[in-house]
Amino acid sequence: MIIDRLCEEVKKYGPVCVGLDTKIEYLPEYLKDKNISDSEKLFEFNRKIIDNTLDTCACYKVQIAHYESLGLEGLKAYAKTLKYIKENNKLSIGDIKRGDILSTATMYAKGHFEGEFEADFITVNPYMGEDAISPYYEYIRSKEKGLFVLMKTSNPSSSDFQELEIKDEKLYMEVAKRIESWGKEFTGNSGYSSIGGVVGLTGTGELINIKNELKNTFFLIPGYGAQGGDPKVLKELFKDGICAVINSSRKIITAHKNVDETETFSLCARKETLRMREDIGWEK
């Protein structure tokens, strides 16, 4: 199972997930001024960060909206970035958050687990129920792929729906339990399922509650760094062993701003990733 490989990467390199949510404005000045296409600029930026963080993180998350917004040029960079991560024997998460009816989800599965946009894991939205998730199952079984399904998000209006009471508990907990039940058959030797959950770090109480309730779920946790998540919560979360990867995007990939706008900018990203590992209490 792909989840076993991710757990091994975490044990070896720590639980940091480097988020490549790259925008043109994040690039160092030398690269902005370079006489190449936007696609080439984005990929060079990502490539240098990957090269300098390979031994400091467990995986990379590539957020597709940042590339889609630039049209075909951006999507070329998205595809090349995923390919480069694979060439370096690292794991990728395509952060696409798809969620649609069965026939459409089948096409999303094909589009992001095969071909130019192929990733090891993708993020999906369970709002439409298991029909929106089940088309990915065959890829988990046959092609060593995995999912991170939205459970509890950290955006300000998440409470509009996620915290509604249902069956004497919050809706997000009912969703989380359902997701874990879908993933039972995909449990690896690590004890975790290749169907994991997305839970924001800024919702600290919810994160611990979900972790205590779900015994076979591995988490992707956004909210560290620029979103203000408290790393102290992770010590409680990890007291029985690491069960998650912690994503940081802007804080890592813009670490060079006002520090190094030259070709050595990615060393700032490396330094920030190492600092983050210490901050969340990971020791090799």
The DSSP bridge pattern shows strands 169-170 and 165-166 to be antiparallel
- The SS3 of residue 54 is coil
Residue recorded with tokens 């160092």: 28
Residue 224 makes CB contacts below 8 A (sequence gap 6+) with 201, 231, 246, 247, 248, 251, 276, 280
Pair of tokens at residue 202: 């800024």
Length of the chain: 284
Residue recorded with tokens 């210490």: 278
Alpha-carbon dihedral sign for residues 206, 210, 211, 213: positive
81, 60, 223: which is closest to 154 by C-alpha?
223
Q: What would you report as the CA-atom Rg of the chain, rounded to the nearest whole angstrom? A: 18
- Tell me, yes or no, if 184 is annotated catalytic: no
Q: How far apart are CA 252 and CA 130, in angstroms?
A: 35
CB crowding 141-161: b at 16 or more within 10 Å, else e: eeeebbbbbbbbbbeeebeee
Contact criterion met (CB below 8 Å) for 156 and 127: no
- Among the listed residues 97, 251, 257, 271, the single catalytic one is 97
Number of helices and strands (H, E) in the chain? 13, 10
The DSSP bridge pattern shows strands 195-199 and 244-248 to be unpaired
Which residues are identified as catalytic? 97
